[in-house]
């Protein structure tokens, strides 16, 4: 007897034989078993009735209803009229487990599809990010689909950051991690000297099946909770980022000779006698770009964009290169930089410090007075910077017309402004937002909030860096029609999501603004720019700019060039910051290879590297935001009970986020504290609406709050509505 026939026979026998009247629950069980035992077969209601032993017309009609319900619940799918098959997700699936501290664990199938809920009792203690095999449970009418973990196939390194609570013979790690509701139990012999109140990193060793808490061991003690260094290191560790440099990598950096040989200089174009300078933030130590300037005999200008030649010193696959690739980027927290390269390289050998000979990879441009590029070349160079300017010093020269090398800076500024005007004419989007910065005392405590704005000096550097990046990308990416471009690393930015743009346009209509969401790329860009101009200086400026950015796609690295929508460039890459970004190092190496006539590299390998760099860039940005959030909460912690004006910057089912006008600190008014009514979340219209009194709280509304609580552990400010 075939397996299939046997299954059907078993199902029939379980029904209690032909003609026996079954309860609806029993029928549902039998029908589910039938579809599960024959996942590829199609059945109509007559075939199902026959298989489970139903003969009466009344019960056959009940089968029709059950099939309809199971189809509505996505357990089965109607393939053609009246004929059903088990849903193609199957009863067993493989994918990723997502653990949440609120108990809403879920499973994401690896072959796509919606997330499926997994109750804690069915989780088998799988951890966030684990690869799991699950059994999809039979779905009941009106309930969400559910699954049960059968097996954990691959597990991630399970480390958590938190505060130690030490008792006599044991300890717990109390964590605010959003993926773990349970504190971690630590036996005394696994404490590694940790004391009560210490911030620590703990690895989960095991989670016994019947135990409520996972079992862990301390990996590292970061310091006393609340102490600035400990908290900044905790933020890095929380995001899986390194907070100290491996001694072996530092040692390798120390061995790199600083002196440049004469033979190396002779291989390069010599710019040491040409006026060259750097313009950087006042606290910068890693100067990875410099500009050179001279007037040519024909009256045109030669502008050199000189970039630190990091890959001359860091060879592929050596210990420094491997560490740099793993990090992929320098991380900029509120009060410190965690460099991608050892400091001897980033702040020393490679940094384009004044009055020191330095090796560079350079893009040299000849521009006329209208800032049109008449010629360009990419080459290895040697430079000697004449002066280090801060942005403030360069801005002062632009505004007063006086100071060191004022003629060069003023000319470069005029050229940059013309390049910028053309860029916006071609459809670039002008996101010109300010950044929140903190004045910090010696202990790391924030004493003042200020806003960093991009002025002409910043834009001068920005335009020449963009020009260099675009030129390098065009050199490799632009090819004759009958030729295939060699594999290269691009910085891409896809078109905005049409649905998000439509929602955004609907939202801004509340403020009286209109925007085109369909048409040519340049028309949409022009509409966004007009909007950003119109909101300048208005209370809703920051909110609308934030939502406009959210409507955009994220820029990322890829070997597949789709252009850069935000900059309106067909070809764009990152070439200008190899000290702090690994993709720029990849670009330098590919340039060197292709300029020497080398063959194309393997695309798949480079796409994987691009994915890694894009992912690490996002992690670094999240850590930076967390450090800003921590300092905002710390800054507000002595302002409890004070009243501030703000704007509703976010609306969720758990409450209102409010950004304060005075210092841009953001906090939450929990929905439970809106006690005058029962409020419901209207996701489409970004608002909370009171059920009885119809009071509305909308995104962008002005609001006055009182500071209720500052929770540093959770990096959260709680506000309440001011009376």
Q: How confident is the model at residue 141, as a pLDDT?
A: 52
Q: How far is the first Cα of the chain from the last one, in angstroms, to the nearest whole number?
A: 79
Q: CA 537, CA 530: separation in Å to the nearest integer?
A: 14
- Which of the four pLDDT bands, split at 50, 70 and 90, describes residue 546? confident
pLDDT in tens, 408-429: 999 999 999 999 999 998 888 8
Query: With b meaning 16 or more CB within 10 Å and e meaning fewer, what string describes 452-491?
Result: eeeebbbbbbebbbbbbbbbbbebbbeeeeeeeebbbbbb
CA-nearest of 306, 363, 237 to 619 is 237
| Residue 540 DSSP one-character state | T
Tokens of 498: 């049409």
Q: Where are the beta strands (DSSP E) in 460-568?
A: 490-492, 556-558
Tokens of 332: 């900029």
pLDDT in tens, 221-272: 999 998 999 999 999 999 999 998 999 999 999 999 999 999 999 999 999 9
CA-nearest of 522, 618, 615 to 568 is 522
CB 493 within 8 A of CB 564: yes
Helix axes 319-327, 603-636, angle to 10 degrees: 60
Q: How confident is the model at residue 140, as a pLDDT?
A: 56
Going by their DSSP bridges, the two strands 655-660 and 696-698 should be labelled as: unpaired
Residues 6+ apart with CB under 8 A from 196: 164, 165, 166
The torsion region of residue 126 among left (phi > 0), alpha (psi -120 to 50) and beta comes to: beta
Q: How confident is the model at residue 548, as a pLDDT?
A: 84
Q: How confident is the model at residue 3, as a pLDDT?
A: 45
CA-nearest of 493, 593, 638 to 551 is 493
Its pTM stands at 0.82
- Which of the four pLDDT bands, split at 50, 70 and 90, describes residue 119? confident
Residues 564-571 have a mean pLDDT of 93
pLDDT in tens, 460-516: 999 999 999 999 999 999 998 888 999 999 999 988 888 888 888 888 888 888 887
Q: How confident is the model at residue 10, as a pLDDT?
A: 45
Tokens of 145: 């689909």
Q: How confident is the model at residue 490, as a pLDDT?
A: 98
């Amino acid at each position: 007897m075939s397996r299939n026939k046997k299954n059907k026979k078993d199902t029939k026998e379980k029904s209690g034989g032909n003609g026996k009247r079954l309860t609806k629950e029993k029928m549902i069980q039998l029908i589910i078993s039938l579809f599960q035992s024959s996942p590829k077969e199609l059945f109509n209601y007559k075939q199902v009735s026959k298989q489970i032993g139903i003969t009466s017309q009344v019960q056959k009609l009940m089968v029709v209803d059950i099939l309809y319900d199971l189809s509505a619940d996505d357990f089965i799918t109607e393939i053609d009229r009246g004929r059903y098959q088990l849903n193609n997700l199957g009863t067993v699936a493989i994918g990723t487990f997502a653990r949440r501290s609120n108990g809403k664990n879920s499973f994401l199938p690896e072959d796509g599809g919606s997330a499926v809920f997994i109750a804690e009792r069915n989780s088998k203690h799988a951890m966030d990010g684990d690869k799991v095999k699950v059994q999809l449970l039979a779905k009941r009418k009106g309930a969400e689909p559910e699954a049960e973990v059968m097996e954990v196939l691959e597990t991630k390194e399970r480390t958590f950051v938190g505060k130690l609570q030490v008792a006599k013979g044991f300890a717990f790690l109390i964590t605010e991690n959003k993926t773990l509701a349970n504190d971690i139990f630590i036996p005394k012999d696994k404490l590694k000297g940790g004391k009560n109140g210490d911030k620590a990193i703990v690895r989960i060793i095991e989670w016994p099946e019947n135990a409520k808490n996972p079992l862990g061991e301390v990996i590292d003690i970061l310091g006393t909770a609340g102490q600035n260094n400990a908290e900044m290191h905790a933020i890095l560790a929380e995001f899986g980022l390194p907070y100290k440099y491996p001694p072996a990598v530092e040692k390798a950096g120390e061995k790199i000779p600083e002196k440049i040989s004469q033979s190396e200089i002779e291989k390069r174009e010599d710019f040491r006698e040409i006026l060259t300078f750097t313009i950087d933030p006042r606290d910068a130590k890693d100067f990875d770009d410099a500009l050179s300037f001279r007037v040519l005999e024909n009256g045109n200008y030669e502008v050199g964009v000189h970039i630190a030649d990091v890959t001359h010193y860091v060879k592929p696959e050596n210990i420094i290169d491997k560490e740099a690739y793993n990090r992929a980027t320098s991380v900029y927290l509120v009060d410190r930089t965690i460099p991608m390269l050892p400091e001897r390289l980033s702040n020393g050998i490679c940094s384009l410090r004044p009055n020191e000979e330095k090796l560079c990879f350079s893009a040299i441009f000849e521009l006329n007075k209208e800032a049109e590029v008449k010629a360009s070349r990419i080459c290895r160079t040697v430079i000697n910077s004449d002066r280090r300017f801060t942005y403030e010093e360069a801005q002062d020269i632009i505004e007063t017309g006086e100071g060191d090398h004022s003629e060069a800076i003023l000319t470069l500024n005029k050229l940059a402004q013309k390049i910028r005007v053309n860029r916006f004419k071609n459809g670039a989007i002008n996101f010109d937002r300010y950044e929140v910065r903190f004045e910090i005392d010696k202990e790391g405590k924030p004493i003042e909030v200020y806003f960093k704005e991009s002025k002409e000096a910043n834009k001068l550097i920005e335009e020449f860096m963009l020009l260099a990046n675009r030129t390098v990308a065009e050199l490799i990416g632009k090819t004759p029609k009958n030729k295939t471009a060699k594999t290269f690393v691009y910085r891409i930015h896809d078109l905005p999501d049409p649905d998000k743009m439509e929602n955004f346009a609907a939202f801004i209509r509340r403020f009286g603004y209109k925007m085109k969401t369909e048409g040519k790329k340049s028309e949409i860009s022009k509409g966004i720019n007009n909007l950003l101009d119109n909101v300048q200086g208005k209370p809703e400026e920051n909110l609308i700019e934030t939502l406009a950015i959210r409507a955009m796609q994220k820029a990322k690295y890829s070997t597949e060039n789709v252009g850069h929508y935000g900059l309106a460039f067909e070809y764009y890459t990152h070439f200008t910051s190899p000290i702090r970004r690994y993709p720029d190092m990849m670009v330098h190496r590919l340039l060197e290879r292709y300029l020497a006539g080398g063959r194309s590299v393997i695309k798949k390998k480079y796409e994987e590297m691009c994915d890694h760099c894009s992912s690490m860039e996002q992690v670094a940005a999240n850590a930076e935001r967390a450090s800003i959030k921590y300092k905002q909460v710390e800054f507000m912690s002595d302002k409890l009970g004070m009243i501030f004006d703000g704007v509703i910057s976010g609306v969720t089912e758990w409450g209102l986020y409010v950004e304060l006008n005075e210092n841009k600190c953001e906090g939450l008014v929990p929905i439970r504290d809106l006690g005058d009514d029962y409020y419901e979340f209207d996701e489409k219209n970004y608002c909370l609406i009171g059920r009885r009194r119809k009071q509305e709280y909308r995104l962008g509304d002005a609001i006055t709050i009182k500071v209720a609580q500052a929770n540093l552990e959770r990096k959260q400010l709680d506000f309440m509505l001011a009376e």
